[in-house]
Structure 1
Amino acid sequence: MKDLFDYCEFGDLKLNSRIVRTGLWESEREKTGNLTPEIYNRYENIAASGVGLIITELYSLYPRDVFSKYSNTTNYARFVREARDLTDLVHVYDVPIFAQLGMVQYSKKTEQNIAIDDVSIEDIRKIQTDMIMAAQKFDYGGFDGIQIGLGNYYFLSRFINPNFNSRKDRYGGSTLNRLKIVLEIIKVIKETTNLHINCRLNAFDGTTNGMTLTETIEVAKILEKYGADSLQITRPRSPQFFTRENKEKNPLIEASEQIIKNVNIPVILGGGATTQNQINEILNTTDIDYISMQRPFVADPSFLVDWQLEGNGETKCKTCNNCYWKKTSTCFINRSAKWDVKSEIPKKS
């Protein structure tokens, strides 16, 4: 039987458990972009808790993007030095860490939120260059991998989506053509860094002419063929879907299983699980081997320690979604709590 605390492999990486921590907002950074002691402490507590893989809070590609004031950036002088301090700290606990990179809109000068069909070839080359340069900084900073944001309603998720992309050039039309902007980025990152490349991908989007699961499976197969090392499956507005009041079966489970059947790279189920028993049931009744969690780590960065010690754990997160709506990396319900668990890590036999 599989257990969430199994030692396991994730491509070429070794994980201490099957739990992937996915980040979202970074509200504790300094205005200059520099990492604060609170950020280092939070990441150390997460790494010490028994997590398998850490995916950082969002690094925004552009300083004037929609979410840039709620996220970190690579564009400050001490980024590589501070990134190396952070990754070294996480690696003390034998936990790999990926940097999550995304952009929501593409803007230039006075033109804001340029439509996919109006993005020029020059613009595409700039976006690709900027993403590749960010990836190289992540590599210099000691990250094990990069997560490219192809999910939710981020820019690249719309670029590959036929509902938004009706271009007539080589970056429009077929699934392969719509993916070329990403595939060319992956190719250069592979050639110039040692990073594991993870792609965060919508299972479907529900728009009239948008991505269906069938096309997402085709996208996943192409991404694998052209060098992606793993996938994380999400949906456009997942925090709005995953609430305690919503008793509907998580549709991402079936979608992830279908994708897993069609690729030979690791696939992470993105969100929706809140208890230890629920996660183990998913692991043992499906082909899913990895499950990501975001808000539970906001509520308590060290909750996995209690789960290992006591069993039958349940997250402290109440799915109030305040951390999502207010775009903060701290919990409004448990904000007065303090965690420091480095001396309480249970030993595995």
Structure 2
Amino acid sequence: MKDLFDMVEFGDLKLNSRIVRTGLWESQREKSGNMTPEIYNRYENMAASGVGLIITELFSLYPRDVFSKYTNTVNYSRFVREARDLTDLVHIYDVPIFAQLGLVQYNKRLEQNIKVEDVTVEDIRKIQTDMIVAAQKFDYGGFDGIQLGLGNYYFLSRFINPTFNSRTDKYGGSTLNRLRMVLEMIKVIKNTTKLHINCRLNAFDGTTNGMTLNETIDIAKLLEKHGVDSLQITRPRSPQFFTRENRQKNPLIKAAEEIIDNVSIPVILGGGVNSQNQINDLLNSTSIDFISMQRPFVNDPSFLVDWQIEGNGESHCITCNNCYWKKTSTCHIRPCKPEYYSPSI
């Protein structure tokens, strides 16, 4: 039988459990972007808890992107030095860590949130170059991998979606053409870094003439063929979907299984679980091997320690989504013990 605390392989990496922590907002950074002692302490508590893989809070590609005031960016002078301190700390516990890179809106001078069809080929080359440079910074900073945001309603998810991409050049039309911008980047990242490449991908989006599960499967196959090492399956506006009332109704489970059946790389189910028994039941009744959690780690970065002791643990997160709406990396309803967020004395 599978258990969430199994030691498992994840591509070329070895994980201490099947639990993947995925971050979102970073509210404890300094205004200059620098990491604080509270951030290092939180990551150390997560790494020591029994988590298998840590995916960081979002790093914004551009400092003036719509989410950049709620996240760190890669664009400050001490980023690589501080990233190395963070990754060295996590690696003490034999836990791999991926940097999550996000581009939500593409802005150019006075033009804001430029539509996919209005992005020029020169713009595409700039975005690709900036993402490749960010990946190289992550590599220098000691990260084991990079997560590219192809899901939710981030810029690249819209670029590969026929609802938003009506281009008539080689970056529009067929599935391959709409994915071309991403595939070109992946090739260079693979050739210039040692990073494991993970893509966060929508299973479907529910828009008219938009992404269906069948096309997502085609995209997953193309990503694998061109060097992507793993996938995380999500959906647009997933934090709004996963509430206390509907956490048992998760359509991503069936979608993730269908994707797993069509690729040979690891696939992570993104969100929707809250208890040890629920996760183990899911692991043993489906083909899913890896589970992502975000808000339970906001509520308590060390909750997995209690789960290992209790054997039937349940997160104290009530899925109120205040951390999402208020865009913070700390819990508003049930603050954790002070030592979980403050540096050790």
User: What interval of TM-score do these two structures reach, taking the shorter chain for normalisation?
Assistant: over 0.9
Report the 3-state secondary structure (helix = DSSP H, G, I; strand = E; otherwise coil) of the residue aligned with 1:112: coil
Residue type of the partner of 2:48? A
Given the alignment of the two structures, is residue 63 of structure 1 paired with residue 63 of structure 2, yes or no? Answer: yes
Change (3 A) 1:318 1:248: closer
Report the 3-state secondary structure (helix = DSSP H, G, I; strand = E; otherwise coil) of the residue aligned with 2:338: coil
Q: Partner residue of 2:323?
A: 323
Q: Partner residue of 2:193?
A: 193
- TM (norm. structure 2) is 0.98
Contact 2:106 2:113 in 1 (8 A): yes
Q: Partner residue of 1:233?
A: 233
Q: CA deviation at 1:334?
A: 2.0
Q: Partner residue of 2:267?
A: 267
Q: Partner residue of 1:178?
A: 178
Q: Partner residue of 2:108?
A: 108
Matches of 1:33 and 1:39 in 2, distance apart?
12
Given the alignment of the two structures, is residue 300 of structure 1 paired with residue 304 of structure 2, yes or no? Answer: no
Report which stretch shifted further, 62-71 or 328-337: 328-337
Matches of 2:41 and 2:291 in 1, distance apart?
24
Matches of 1:172 and 1:290 in 2, distance apart?
33
Contact 1:271 1:294 in 2 (8 A): yes
Matches of 2:305 and 2:141 in 1, distance apart?
28
Residue type of the partner of 2:117? D
Matches of 2:248 and 2:317 in 1, distance apart?
19
Matches of 1:89 and 1:240 in 2, distance apart?
33
Residue type of the partner of 1:141? G
Q: Partner residue of 1:77?
A: 77
Matches of 2:193 and 2:273 in 1, distance apart?
33
Contact 2:247 2:273 in 1 (8 A): no
* Runs (5+) with no aligned partner, structure 2: none
Q: Partner residue of 1:141?
A: 141
Contact 1:106 1:112 in 2 (8 A): yes
Q: Partner residue of 1:280?
A: 280
Matches of 2:144 and 2:297 in 1, distance apart?
20
Contact 1:302 1:339 in 2 (8 A): no
Q: CA deviation at 1:245?
A: 1.2
Contact 2:247 2:272 in 1 (8 A): no
Matches of 1:270 and 1:332 in 2, distance apart?
22
- TM (norm. structure 1) is 0.97
Q: CA deviation at 1:68?
A: 0.3
Q: Partner residue of 1:204?
A: 204
Matches of 2:136 and 2:248 in 1, distance apart?
41
Q: CA deviation at 1:333?
A: 1.3
Report the 3-state secondary structure (helix = DSSP H, G, I; strand = E; otherwise coil) of the residue aligned with 2:72: coil
Residue type of the partner of 2:191? E
Contact 1:300 1:339 in 2 (8 A): no
Deviations 1:179-238 (A, max 9, x none): 000000100000000000000000000000100000000000000000100000000011
Report the 3-state secondary structure (helix = DSSP H, G, I; strand = E; otherwise coil) of the residue aligned with 1:284: helix
Matches of 2:204 and 2:338 in 1, distance apart?
38
Q: Partner residue of 1:14?
A: 14
> Superposition RMSD on alpha carbons, in Å?
1.0
Report the 3-state secondary structure (helix = DSSP H, G, I; strand = E; otherwise coil) of the residue aligned with 1:35: coil
Residue type of the partner of 1:329? S
Residue type of the partner of 1:287? S
Q: Partner residue of 1:345?
A: none
Report the 3-state secondary structure (helix = DSSP H, G, I; strand = E; otherwise coil) of the residue aligned with 1:66: coil
Residue type of the partner of 1:70? Y
Q: CA deviation at 1:5?
A: 0.1
Q: CA deviation at 1:337?
A: 2.4
Deviations 1:143-176 (A, max 9, x none): 0000000000000000000000010000000000
Q: Partner residue of 2:154?
A: 154
Aligned residue pairs total: 341
Matches of 2:247 and 2:195 in 1, distance apart?
38
Identity level (%):
81
Q: Partner residue of 1:291?
A: 291
Contact 1:301 1:339 in 2 (8 A): no
Residue type of the partner of 2:196? H
Residue type of the partner of 1:75? N
Matches of 1:230 and 1:336 in 2, distance apart?
32
Contact 1:204 1:235 in 2 (8 A): yes
